[in-house]
């Protein structure tokens, strides 16, 4: 049967107030780019008439401004999960306008299937190709597209001609059965495939909107002296681990988070001659991975998205034969799956907003209140990792904020799951250490020297137990920042 084509406005008219809408995309990569704008316009029209119009948005991770941004500014979003990075959306979340549920990314698709969020009414999926029998080939990301496409009553496909049809083959798209019928997820190496190269659904529920929209591929902040040093510390740690026999000399697959520190770590690994060529099993494949792929240092990269700058994606598109042999894009349920993470023995490297002296990590909240982005996949990878690493510069805001505090203002990863912390000053190895030993290790190896005496004073002054913890001083650093704008002014109250 012939596919139904329509305009973005016509497609937007299919979306109703209160709908649960599942979208493609994982970061800006692979997101729909015109229908959300048409929905935003419709929302504004309804609001002008005094009618309510808000929808609930489910995606793989964050999306681009053409989705989260435009819908936020139109006040068209009631609920959002599981991750976001858009400035306007962040503000709306933090002032209570949008209800945001911050989830481990690997769980989003299954929790939708389990019925925890109600029915998915509409899916909006960016594709580079579609067939009349309902084969949808995603663009630069997979996310939760297989699940929301299958479950939705209406599937709006943005057929984005900016992306070549020849991407077909770069994706592997399985969907697991649910308990009690789930089987092993059959990924035993980074290159393994478990599904089809496309999403296949009933074509009668598809409507197609043709577009030709470039990616929103902005580069991250460049690598600087601090991030370079962090990267070198991580790379040197790996070399020591191999020398000591605690890591296979053939090495293990790498997961690295998103941003410039992740790029610096990958660059340092690439530069270190004692680290063999390696594989990547991660959620977001960044520019640095592509560069290392071309130099031969990265052998293969499996991820949920190709989140690269526009010059980089254009380069990939011009050399698809080369890259299709080295890149595989999977649903977030597979890219981030703890079963696969643990089986493959992935080395997880994620960025902390702040860490406390015991190794608990804040990945989400600035000063305990303001949501930054979300936990993303950091929990999926950290918990199952062969060795879990968190990286952070020792200070922020010209030294006024210490990344190492007596107690994190929001705990996303507990001390039980965090093995290694790295700053530009060094590597804190928390394995086999009790809390007080961990505290001394983190203070002496990772904290900025300006803060070491204060942190030690907190530790020595606090009521003892397995953990030295003082409810009167635990947030002395945060209070000093709120009162004076500088954590160095913290005072530890004597007991």
Task: Pick the binder of a copy of itself from 33, 42, 104, 171 (CB under 8 A).
Answer: 104
Q: Rounded to the nearest whole angstrom, what is the least distance from the CB of residue 225 to a copy of itself in the complex?
A: 32
Q: Which is nearer to a copy of itself, 203 or 359 (CB)?
A: 359
154 makes contact with a copy of itself (CB under 8 A): no
Q: Which is nearer to a copy of itself, 109 or 157 (CB)?
A: 109
Q: Which of residues 84-103 bind a copy of itself (CB under 8 A)?
A: 93-96, 99-103
Q: Which of residues 24-83 bind a copy of itself (CB under 8 A)?
A: 79, 81
Q: Rounded to the nearest whole angstrom, what is the least distance from the CB of residue 246 to a copy of itself in the complex?
A: 4
Q: Which is nearer to a copy of itself, 53 or 475 (CB)?
A: 475
Task: Pick the binder of a copy of itself from 45, 132, 133, 178 (CB under 8 A).
Answer: 178
Q: Which of residues 217-256 bind a copy of itself (CB under 8 A)?
A: 244-246, 248, 250, 252-253
In 3D space, the residue among 23, 25, 21, 16 whose CA is nearest the CA of residue 52 turns out to be 16
Q: Rounded to the nearest whole angstrom, what is the least distance from the CB of residue 321 to a copy of itself in the complex?
A: 27
In 3D space, the residue among 9, 340, 324, 354 whose CA is nearest the CA of residue 156 turns out to be 9
Give the contact letters, 340-359, x = binds to a copy of itself (CB under 8 A), - = no. Answer: --xxxx--------------
Task: Pick the binder of a copy of itself from 31, 170, 474, 490 (CB under 8 A).
Answer: 474
487 makes contact with a copy of itself (CB under 8 A): no
User: Which range binds a copy of itself by CB under 8 A, 163-171, 224-232, 293-301, 403-411?
Assistant: 403-411
371 makes contact with a copy of itself (CB under 8 A): yes
Task: Pick the binder of a copy of itself from 1, 49, 50, 116 (CB under 8 A).
Answer: 116
Q: Rounded to the nearest whole angstrom, what is the least distance from the CB of residue 399 to a copy of itself in the complex?
A: 20
468 makes contact with a copy of itself (CB under 8 A): yes
Q: Which is nearer to a copy of itself, 100 or 198 (CB)?
A: 100
462 makes contact with a copy of itself (CB under 8 A): yes
């Amino acid at each position: 049967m012939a596919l139904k084509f329509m305009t973005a406005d016509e497609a937007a008219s299919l979306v109703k107030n209160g709908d649960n809408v599942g979208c493609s995309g994982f970061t800006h990569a692979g997101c729909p780019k015109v229908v959300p704008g048409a929905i935003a316009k419709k929302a504004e029209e309804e609001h002008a008439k005094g009618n309510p119009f808000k929808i609930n948005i489910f995606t793989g991770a964050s999306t681009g401004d053409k989705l989260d941004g435009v819908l936020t500014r139109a006040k068209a979003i009631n609920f959002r999960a599981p991750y976001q990075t858009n400035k306007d959306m962040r503000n709306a979340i933090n002032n209570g306008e949008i209800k945001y549920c911050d989830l481990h990314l690997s769980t989003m698709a299954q929790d939708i299937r389990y019925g925890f969020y109600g029915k998915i009414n509409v899916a909006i999926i960016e594709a580079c190709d579609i067939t009349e029998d309902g084969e949808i080939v995603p663009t630069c990301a997979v996310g939760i597209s297989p699940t929301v496409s299958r479950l939705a009553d209406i599937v709006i496909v943005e057929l984005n001609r900016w992306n070549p049809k020849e991407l077909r083959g770069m994706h592997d798209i399985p969907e697991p059965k649910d308990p009690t019928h789930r089987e092993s997820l059959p990924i035993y190496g980074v290159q393994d495939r478990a599904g089809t190269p496309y999403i296949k659904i009933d074509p009668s529920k598809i409507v197609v909107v043709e577009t030709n929209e470039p990616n929103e591929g902005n580069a991250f902040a460049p690598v600087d002296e601090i991030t370079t040093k962090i990267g070198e510390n991580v790379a040197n740690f790996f070399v020591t681990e191999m020398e000591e026999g605690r890591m296979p000399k053939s090495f293990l697959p790498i997961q690295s988070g998103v941003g410039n520190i992740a790029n610096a770590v990958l660059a340092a690994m690439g530069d270190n001659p004692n680290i063999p060529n390696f594989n990547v099993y991660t959620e977001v494949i960044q520019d640095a991975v592509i560069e290392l792929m071309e130099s031969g240092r990265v052998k293969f990269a499996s991820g949920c998205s190709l989140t690269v700058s526009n010059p980089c994606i254009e380069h990939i598109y011009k050399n698809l034969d080369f890259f299709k042999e080295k890149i595989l894009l999977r649903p977030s349920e597979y890219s981030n799956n703890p079963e696969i993470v643990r089986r493959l023995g992935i080395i997880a490297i994620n960025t902390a907003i702040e860490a406390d002296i015991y190794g608990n990590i804040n990945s989400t909240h600035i000063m305990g209140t303001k949501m930054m982005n979300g936990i993303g996949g950091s929990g999926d990878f950290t918990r199952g990792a062969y060795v879990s690493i968190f990286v952070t510069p020792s200070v922020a805001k010209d030294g006024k904020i210490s990344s190492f505090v007596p107690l994190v203002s929001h705990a996303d990863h507990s001390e039980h799951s965090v093995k290694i912390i790295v700053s530009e000053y060094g590597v804190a190895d928390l394995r086999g250490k009790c809390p007080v030993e961990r505290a001394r290790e983190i203070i002496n190896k990772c904290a900025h020297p300006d803060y070491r005496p204060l942190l030690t004073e907190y530790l020595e002054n606090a009521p003892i137990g397995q953990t030295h913890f003082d409810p009167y001083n635990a947030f002395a650093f945060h209070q000093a920042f709120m009162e004076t704008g500088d954590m160095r002014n913290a005072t530890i109250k004597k007991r």
